[in-house]
Structures are given as structure tokens and as C-alpha cells.
Amino acid sequence: MPARISLTCGTSVNPNTLARPETITSTSIGRATVSLRDGHRGGRIYLWARITGARRGDTVRLDWTDFGLGGRRHQCSATVHTGSDQHTVAAQYLQSGGDHREFRACGHHGGATRCTRWMP
């Protein structure tokens, strides 16, 4: 039976509750940096998007696709309200046979939007 996929922000896991957080890939937008990060909990891997060096009103977004798991595409975003950093909630990495979710992080800063490359 294939894994059940949520059409919203996944399981809404707070990345601050995950162990061993690390940046997988990142890209710059002016003075801001958008990163795709991962962390672990209970033997599972979760991924989220983070923007640093941002300004109020900037946004960060986590995109993920379910290749082979239904082929659906998902997005979850967050807006910087205070400070210069913001993250999305985390979504679980899923794999079924040879199929798996792929993720990327996108950010909007200074009128421009950029995304990291897709990562398995």
C-alpha cells in the first residue's frame, strides 16, 4: 500500500524539534539565503525550507513532489513577520520501492524569487 500523502503542509512538524539539522543545498537572493534543510526524529527524515538575511514581508516556500507516489505536487510557505529568519514546517521524506519524494526550497526577497535545485 503506498504511503498516504497530505495535500497541505504535510504533518506540520516543527523543525526546531528535529535532531541533527543540516543544510542540504542553498541559493542566494541578493543578501538573503534560501536553504533546504533536513533533520531526524524517530528514525524518520524531515525536510523544510529556511530563509536567512530576509526582511519583513519576504517569503520562504517548501515544494515537494510525489514521483510515483501519485505524482502530486505540494507547497507550504511562511512569511517573515519579525527578524530576518523564517522557516516552513517540515515534511517527511517518503520512499516506496524505487519512488521517493523530491524537495526544493524557494524564497522571495527584494522582488525576486529563487529556488534551490530539487533534491531526493
Q: What is the pTM of this model?
A: 0.87
**What is the phi-psi region of residue 55: left when phi exceeds 0, alpha when psi lies from -120 to 50, beta otherwise?**
beta
Predicted local confidence at residue 5, as pLDDT: 41
- Which domains are assigned to the chain? 15-109 (2.60.40)
In tens digits, the chain (120 residues) has pLDDT values of 344 444 457 667 999 999 999 999 999 999 999 999 999 999 999 999 999 999 999 999 999 987 765 677 889 999 999 999 999 999 998 887 777 889 999 999 999 999 999 997
* Separation of alpha carbons 74 and 83, rounded Å: 27
* Separation of alpha carbons 90 and 51, rounded Å: 14
Predicted local confidence at residue 66, as pLDDT: 79
